[in-house]
Amino acid sequence: MSVKHYVFASSKPWNRSLTEDLKLHSESKSEWVHSPEELENLINASPNIRYIFFLHWNWLVPEFIWSQYECVCFHMTDVPYGRGGSPLQNLIIRGHKDTVLTALRMVDEMDAGPVYTKRPLSLDGTAHEIYLRASKLSFEIIDWIVSSEPTPVAQSGQPVVFKRRNPTQSKLPIAGSMRQVYDHVRMLDAPTYPHAFVDHGEFRIEFSEARLGEEEVTATVRIYKKSEQE
């Protein structure tokens, strides 16, 4: 029996801890990479790869990788609805309370590849809580893909493309409901993400751990001088 080689690519620290939950065959080999350079070096050294799983990857995957290997990525929308960047934030802004996590094969167009499966995913809680929930679900899907090696099915329907958000859009809105304020804070509340903020003179005030009351939102506040971290 030939050894099946699986690669896990992620730019986020919370994914690595879930590796222990995988039920890979004892004859298989798995490795982690955290940057494009690590990925290319691994591919050059280990050409016999069955799957490359991308979990919250921040970079464009070159054609020579996705065309040569079966590359599986995970997207937090019911594609073709919600292709594109910042899916979690774009979903919450649009009022979605839940979504699906889609496992799809990478192709030349972003998030347009054929679909292996879609699994329900709640959008309750902070961004970090949602990402952890999605990561756990991703590994459940990976177990299924590794064991059954399914053939993905082409997407159907009219695409709706989300635009990637930029850090300036994390600024707290100047009007709206308390629910909108709460959603704005929680959807940005995750490590490595630009938190919700307001600027006051030379100070930046960041918000996290939001809690929604009947007529107010309470949150943890962090204040620092903008010049120190920009």
First-to-final CA distance of the chain: 54
DSSP letter for each residue of 29-60: EEEEE-SHHHHHHHHHH----SEEEESS--SP
Locate the domains of the chain by residue range.
5-162, 167-229
* pLDDT value at 47 more than 90: no
Lowest-confidence region among 13-22, 59-68, 80-89, 150-159: 13-22
Residue 20 has a pLDDT of 56
CATH assignment of 167-229? Answer: 3.10.25.20
Q: Using 50, 70 and 90 to split pLDDT, how confident is the model at 64?
A: very high
> Residue 27 — pLDDT band, cuts 50, 70, 90?
low
Work out the number of other CB atoms within 10 angstroms of the CB of residue 169. 16
Residue whose entry in the numeric block shows the structure tokens 């309370």: 97
CATH entry, 5-162, from 3.20.20.70, 3.30.420.40, 2.60.40.10, 3.40.50.170: 3.40.50.170
**Does residue 213 carry a pLDDT above 90?**
yes
Give residue 171's pLDDT.
Answer: 97
Give residue 145's identity as a one-letter amino acid code: I
Runs of H (alpha helix) within the chain: 36-45, 63-66, 87-93, 127-148, 178-186, 226-229
On whether the pTM is more than 0.85, the answer is yes
Strands 5-9 and 29-33: parallel
